[in-house]
Amino acid sequence: MGDKGGDNHSEVTDFILVGIRVRPELHSLLFLLFLVVYGMVLLGNLSMIGIIVTDPRCNPLLYTVRMSRSLCIQLVAGSYLCGWVSSILQISVTFSMSFCASRVIDHFYCDSNPIEKISCSNIFMNKMVSFSLAVLIILPTIVVIVVSYMYIVSAVLKIRSSEGRKKAFSTCSSHLGVVSLLYGTVSFVYLTPPNNPELRKVASVCYILFTPMLNPLIYSLRNKDVKNAMKKVIWKKKVLL
């Protein structure tokens, strides 16, 4: 991505990511924290794969019980298609920008807002594309989730036993907590003015690292069948040793 604006601008061919602005002595601590979180994400997902492979009866994903297989495939394909279209549009408008003297991106990854700040092009179209995509992706999914939880709460309230209602609400509250963390931070990053870059970085860390870490714990590892299968796997290993 070089300069297209004239001879007064020096060509920029590479960029520097600033990262999170903290005191130098905290760099190692942050590295270890992010490494542990990434390790937990990897371990959680690999554990689920291993449990499902070793115990075929453990099937925590029961989407096909409530909907047809073809509908599941269509929903997955639609999600991937929306992601691809969004990425292609973002990349296209980014590569159409010209960059002048500055090559310092005030973030820990190449997000749209920090890149637009160092551009010497007219970024009105970029802003419109970014905001439109954020609105089209975030708001409809929030509406679907809210409506879904309204139906869930209505169904849970019809459960006669207080123990059953308590268990159902416990599961739903955990799910809703992760969803709120994800959409709250994403909405803050992409739907609010970029007045506080450091706070936006912290919000980005929440939905990039902590949400994937919580997903295996809440959506699968709390499942009773998954727990039983995990105990069997651990017991078999102890017997073999």
Q: What was the pLDDT predicted at 7?
A: 47
Beta bridge partners of 17: 105
Report the C-alpha gap between 44 and 218 in whole angstroms: 11
Q: The CATH number of the domain where 163 resides is what?
A: 1.20.1070
Q: Which two tokens stand for residue 41?
A: 């994400």
**Is position 4 within any domain?**
no
Residue 188 domain-assigned (yes or no): yes
Please state, in angstroms and rounded to a whole number, the distance separating the CA atoms of residues 123 and 130: 10
Per the CB < 8 A criterion, the answer to whether 226 and 58 are in contact is: yes
Domain-located, residue 1? no
* DSSP annotation string for 150-215: HHHHHHHHT---HHHHHHHHHHHHHHHHHHHHHHHHHHHHHHS----HHHHHHHHHIIIIIHHHHH
**Which domain does 31 fall in, by range?**
16-240
Residue 73 resides in a domain: yes
pLDDT score recorded for residue 11: 63
Phi first, then psi, for residue 126 (nearest 5°) are: -60, -45
**Residues sharing a CB contact under 8 Å with residue 99, sequence separation 6 or more, in sequence order:** 1, 2, 3, 12, 118, 119, 120
Per-residue pLDDT at 62: 65
What SS3 class is residue 5?
coil
Q: Please check whether residue 121 lies inside any domain of the structure.
A: yes
Q: Are strands 16-17 and 104-105 parallel, antiparallel or unpaired?
A: parallel
What's the domain count of the chain?
1
Task: Kindly report the pTM of this predicted structure.
Answer: 0.69
Q: Is residue 2 part of a domain?
A: no
Question: Of 142, 143, 139, 168, whose CA–CA distance to 155 is shortest?
Answer: 168
How do the pLDDT tens digits run along the chain, 241 residues long?
A: 444 444 445 566 688 888 888 888 888 888 898 899 888 888 888 887 777 777 766 765 666 677 788 888 898 898 899 889 988 988 888 888 888 767 888 888 888 888 888 888 888 888 888 888 888 888 888 888 889 889 888 888 888 888 888 878 877 887 888 888 888 888 888 777 777 788 888 888 888 888 888 877 776 666 676 777 777 777 776 666 6
